[in-house]
Amino acid sequence: MIDAVLILRYAAPIAFAAVGETASQRAGMINIGLEGTMLTSAFVATKVSLATGSPWVGIIVGAVAGLILALLTGVLTIRMQQDQVVVGTAVNLLCFGLCGMLFERWNGATGQLLSLPPLPKFAGGLDVVLLLLVVSAVAISFALFRTEWGLRARAAGEYPASLEAAGYSVIRTQFQALLISGLMAGLGGAYYAIGVAGSFAPDMISGRGFMAIAIVTFARWKPIWGLLSACLVGYFESLQYQLQMTHQDIPKSLLIALPYAATLLILVFSGRSSNAPAALGQPYRGMR
């Protein structure tokens, strides 16, 4: 039997990114740079946590790093109207190269294992960040479907011209949604380094940003379903660690592939959704 808190802990990095990406995509912005954002936030959180001795400061600064990368992405895609996929890919490559170079410079070519100060936990293994994840998913869902801002965000992703005709700024709305995506991905990356792995390695994110994007589609652009779908992937990740200890006859590489196979199955079962925002990924060339 796998502990529910353990599943949530392994799911949290992907869930943070997926819930934030849901808000972004609802507003018509697809943030392909989630992978690089999570890695950069994990790296920044690691360095800050080691420097200050506080995991909380590390997580906060890591989240801010995600916010800054989202701001850069927004300037290039919203203001300068560059292709969102191309910009996101460039952000990923920049983050991979920069984090790898700095890690090697500060920790040697082979890289020494970095041991981070742990997060305090409540009874049962819960911590504040896991509670924040659940609250964030509920809050973003409420904001998207029960507030005026959410109506504007969804209009920006469906009919941006009508939003502008109503006197609202498409640019401002999309920037706000993209910043939510960056902040949440930053929290996910920082938590993965400090709350899950307890260390940093240049390849530690290992596709979790792309998993988050896949989960958004499977969850039909609904934050709560995004959280639950991420928990499904978290279950398979915790399962593979358990099987590594109890079934050593099974090849380790096969077990490591379990979460990725689960994500592929999620994509297969999601099929071609008709719920995707109509203007997703399309630059808006309006006046405001």
- Mean pLDDT score of the chain: 91
112, pLDDT greater than 90: no
183, pLDDT greater than 80: yes
19, pLDDT greater than 90: yes
Q: Using alpha carbons only, how large is the chain's radius of gyration in Å?
A: 19
Average pLDDT over residues 156-170: 95
pLDDT of residue 118: 85
Report how far residue 81's alpha carbon sits from residue 239's, in angstroms, rounded to the nearest whole number.
Answer: 43
Average pLDDT over residues 29-41: 98
pLDDT of residue 122: 85
45, pLDDT greater than 60: yes
Q: Which of 121-135, 182-196, 262-276 comes out lowest in average pLDDT?
A: 262-276
pLDDT of residue 190: 98
**pLDDT digit string, tens, across residues 220-271:** 999 999 999 999 999 988 888 888 777 777 777 787 888 888 888 877 776 6
Within 8 A by CB and 6+ apart from 218, the residues are: 225, 229, 266, 267, 269, 270
Band (pLDDT 50/70/90 cuts) for residue 188 is: very high
Residue 127 amino acid letter: D
The tokens describing 2, both together, are 């796998």
Quick count: other Cβ atoms within 10 Å of Cβ 286? 13
Domain annotation for the chain: domains and CATH numbers: 4-108+119-270 (1.10.3470.10)
Report how far residue 156's alpha carbon sits from residue 171's, in angstroms, rounded to the nearest whole number.
Answer: 9
Quick count: other Cβ atoms within 10 Å of Cβ 113? 9
Average pLDDT over residues 111-117: 67
Band (pLDDT 50/70/90 cuts) for residue 128 is: very high
211, pLDDT greater than 70: yes
Report how far residue 39's alpha carbon sits from residue 201's, in angstroms, rounded to the nearest whole number.
Answer: 9
pLDDT of residue 249: 72
Band (pLDDT 50/70/90 cuts) for residue 274 is: low
Q: Which of 212, 141, 149, 158 is nearest to 176 (CA)?
A: 149
Please report, in angstroms and rounded to a whole number, the separation of the first and last CA atoms in the chain.
54
pLDDT of residue 179: 98
Please tell me which residue, 284 or 174, carries the higher pLDDT value: 174
Average pLDDT over residues 111-133: 83
